Amino acid sequence: MQILDFNHISQIFVNSLELVVVFATICAALEFTFPAYRYSLASYARGVRNWLIRLGLGAFIWHFFAVGLAWLGVKPLVAINFAALLHSDNAIANTGLAVLSGVLVAIAGDFFYYWMHRAQHAVPFLWRLHATHHSIRELTAWNCNHHISEPLVYAALVALPLALIHFESGVVPIVAMTLITFQAHLSHSSTRINLGPLRYIIGDNKFHRIHHSMEPHHRHRNYGFFTTLWDTIFLTAYWPKKNEWPEVGMRNQPEPLTVRDYIMFPFDRRRWRKPKVGNAVEARD
């Protein structure tokens, strides 16, 4: 693989954009039809713009990550093959087991995301980068961007461990990526449609909304992305009540509106200047 292969970079960008457009639009349709909150059309336009920026830069990051793994000769130290463990001679049963194996891969991979996410809230520098995402007050399936640096953090703390511990589901990788991308948009969607009792296994918008909440009693809760199992195991799960749908964002940081604000959010000294004693405002961490 070439160090700078624009065809590969373009392919990463196009494939990622296709998934985002399909699932963000599906969730946006649910938001307009069954809204929990109604947000401005301008917020959707910002979301589209920021996704294009993030996916464009992310394509370069993921290309160089793949080149780096190949150059260093990184190979899995351990391989766990769910496809071999879950197999049946019955065609119908085998299809169900294949889907289950894909879900198990996502759950296993989410273990690393869970701890990355906790680190983002615990380490000051990582928090500044991640706070770009938490500052969003008009949170929707389109307007849910992380900072452009997120792929770097994800590559180091999630993708690299997963490259060393290889989980094989037996299903086409794009199927797993499709499920995960849909989950990303559903979990940030401002629609009343949710997963109901399935939430005790798979995360949804009501569960993840708590993580973005401004309410003090919701802090340090619901870090999981695909599954809620790790939050349950590590005692960080908060199960939202029937009509619990809190306001989101950060009390002391407005949502970035311009491209400059979006890119420079973690590095803008005006945002992170410590307030004077007596004028302090509560930070969302």
Mean pLDDT for each consecutive 10-residue tract of the chain (285 residues)?
87 93 94 94 96 96 94 87 74 75 83 96 96 96 95 94 82 65 90 92 95 95 94 97 92 92 93 61 45
Evaluate whether 134 touches 284 at the Cβ level (below 8 Å): yes
The pLDDT score that the predictor gives to residue 280 is: 39
Which residue shows structure tokens 């950060």? Answer: 250
**Rounded CA separation 268/265 (Å):** 6
DSSP 278: T
The pLDDT score that the predictor gives to residue 278 is: 47
The pLDDT score that the predictor gives to residue 279 is: 42
CA-to-CA dists, residue 113 to 45, 70, 110, 239, angstroms? 28, 23, 5, 20
Which residue shows structure tokens 């294009």? Answer: 52
- Secondary structure of residue 46 in the 3-state scheme: helix
Residues in a beta bridge with 213? 248
- In the chain, the N- to C-terminal Cα span, in Å, equals 41
The pLDDT score that the predictor gives to residue 284 is: 46
Evaluate whether 59 touches 12 at the Cβ level (below 8 Å): yes
The pLDDT score that the predictor gives to residue 275 is: 60
**Rounded CA separation 130/35 (Å):** 26
| Positions of E strands within 127-185 | 165-168
CA-wise closest residue to 64 among 152, 163, 129: 152
Evaluate whether 285 touches 121 at the Cβ level (below 8 Å): yes
CA-wise closest residue to 100 among 77, 117, 79, 82: 82
Instruction: Answer left, alpha or beta for residue 220, where phi above 0 means left and psi between -120 and 50 means alpha.
Output: left
CA-wise closest residue to 226 among 165, 268, 182: 182
